[in-house]
Amino acid sequence: MPKPKKIQKTPKKLVKKTRLVRPALEPLVLRTLRGMKDILPEDQPYWDQIRRTSERLSRDWGFFRIDTPLLEFSNLFARSIGEGTDIVEKEMYTFTTRGGDKVALRPELTAGNCRAYIQHGMNILPKPVKLFSSGPVYRYDRPQEGRYREHYQINFDAFGELDPILDAQVIQVAHRLIQSLGIKTFQIQVNSIGCADCRKDYRDLLISYLESKKNKLCQDCRSRMENNPLRVLDCKEDKCAQAVAGAPQSIDHLCEECRTHFRNLLEYLDELDLPYIINPRLVRGLDYYTKTVFEIWSGSEEGKKNALGGGGRYDKLIKNMGGEDTPAIGFALGVERLILEMKRVQAKPYRAPKPRVFLAQLGSLAKKKSLRLFSELEKNGIMAAESFGRGSLKSQLKSASRLGVEITLILGQKETLDGTVIVKNMITGVQETVSVEKLVDIIKKKLKTDSVVVHHITQGM
């Protein structure tokens, strides 16, 4: 049997020692991306006020909440909003997933709500189907006052009713919502851009007019003339606004059905005593609008105004997306713009209920027992505050005074061993010692309250 060959080993002196070189870490950028923001605690009361007010009004007016994903297939927005719009051409955050799907961060809420309406068979529900939604939307646009690349909207949609009385009701909801936030001075602008039939003739007239003014238009509006001429009317460039001053108006070229619809809408608005003006240049920026369009503008000082939101009819959108022929109308309001206006007019933000009891503890054993005691207060609907991280009793009592509580409960080493708690009246300074078993009943009697909210105080706030 032949002997196995010996494996020749490479001499140690010939072996090169290889050092693993780790790639340098990218520097950590401790700031938000351009156009993004943090919503800090001091601003949260304004956000709470808008959330609470919009959710209450949605329930009162029969709108049911719906939440759709931030991510959708990108062609959902291209098909619904319009290929020639600025949103689709310039402002959408689009990318391809690892699985090869072409997706986009939603630039608005209505398209996703329409997709959900079709997907989940809401067409069989009693009409109108009213949906309320809110949340972030994304547009890669130039950040400006009250508008970020990630910004938040409140959205109301109503499906299945063609009568202009629904247009009036939706405008009334928008009016009521803004008023309820403490914004008393604002302007409602309305217009009708007609249906697909009468808009065709108007579009030809408008293009003919714009051709004569082409040299006075900005480069974007020259491009819009080909695929979306109505958007020229909405351009914010001064030279474009001057150029279209004499353009034909859509309301002068409506078919009989659209003219009647608009006339009835104005009569309903008059009946509701809603202040409005007719703006014949108002067209909105999305392709899916038909007939009624409207916007709401702030009443800022020195003539400067900001759009708080707007909406209109989109009677063919559901059908164009593959669903049944379903008339619809809706509107959206920008939360950041609303907050700016609330601050400008000094509207009151939401005031959270304040705690009326403070739990102070001293010593490690008391600290352990105070967790259970705090839980018992919460279970019994007693609104309490605490500061477990603070060691000295003096600092805890200062926190209690700063909060303006009526009663402070003091739990020390002796009280813990005795099964008692010191109850101090923060107004009179009188204090008494009571047993833990009777504490909840005594506190309820002293407060004479059925409060059910618990408030936590964290160190450093």
Is residue 230 situated within a structural domain?
A: no
Amino acid at 198: C
332/369 same-domain check: no
Q: Are residues 318 and 400 in the same domain?
A: no
| E strands, 200-244, in order | none
288, 323, 344 — which closes off a domain? 344
Where are any strands of DSSP class E within 315-419? 328-334, 357-361, 384-386, 407-411
* Mean pLDDT per 10-residue segment, the chain (461 residues): 56 57 82 93 96 97 98 90 70 92 95 97 97 95 81 97 97 97 95 91 88 85 81 83 88 94 97 94 83 90 78 94 96 96 95 90 87 90 84 85 91 91 90 92 79 39 37
Give residue 403's domain range: 357-447
User: 315 and 375: one domain?
Assistant: no
Count CB-CB contacts under 10 A for residue 357.
26
Q: Which of 254, 237, 253, 256 is nearest to 245 (CA)?
A: 237
Q: Which of 344, 378, 399 is the last residue of a domain?
A: 344
Give strand pairing partners of 137.
151
Same domain for 164 and 263?
A: yes
Instruction: Say which residue the tokens 């956000």 belong to.
Output: 47
The answer to the question of residue 339 being in a domain is yes
In degrees rounded to 5, what are phi and psi of residue 293? -135, 150
Task: For residue 154, tell me if it sits in a domain.
Answer: yes
Helix 219-227 and helix 196-212, axial crossing angle in degrees, nearest 10: 140
Chain-centroid distance, C-alpha 306: 17
Residue 396 lies in a domain: yes
Query: Does some domain include residue 378?
Result: yes
How crowded is residue 119: how many other Cβ atoms within 10 Å of its Cβ? 11
- Both 286 and 179 in one domain: the answer is yes
Type of residue numbered 91: E
Given a contact cutoff of 8 angstroms between Cβ atoms, the answer to whether 196 and 313 are in contact is: no
Residue 373 shares a structural domain with residue 425:
yes
The reply to whether 51 and 130 lie within a common domain is yes
190 and 324 in one domain? yes
Structural domain includes residue 22: no
What single-letter amino acid sits at 7?
I
Gap between the Cα atoms of 383 and 451, Å rounded: 6
Q: What is the pLDDT of residue 238?
A: 85
What CATH number did the domain enclosing 295 receive? 3.30.930.10
Q: Tell me the β-bridge partners of 73.
A: 103
State how many domains the chain has: 2
- State whether 332 and 387 are in the same domain: no
In a domain, 101, yes or no: yes
Is there a single domain that holds both residue 301 and residue 386? Answer: no
Please say whether the beta carbons of 385 and 377 come within 8 A: no
**Predicted local distance difference test score (pLDDT) of residue 203:** 87
pLDDT (0 to 100) of residue 11: 56
- pLDDT value at position 340? 94
> How far apart, in whole angstroms, are the C-alpha atoms of residue 109 and residue 153?
8
Domain harbouring 382, CATH code = 3.40.50.800
Do 92 and 184 belong to one domain?
yes
pTM: 0.84
Q: Which of 313, 344, 375 is the last residue of a domain?
A: 344
pLDDT at residue number 19: 66
- Cα separation, 119 vs 113, in Å, equals 10
Q: What 3-state DSSP class applies to 132? A: strand
Answer for the pair 309, 333: CB distance below 8 angstroms, yes or no.
yes
Q: Is 71 contained in some domain?
A: yes
Determine the Cα–Cα distance for residues 189 and 398; give it in Å rounded to an integer.
53
Looking at the structure, do residues 269 and 398 belong to the same domain, yes or no? no
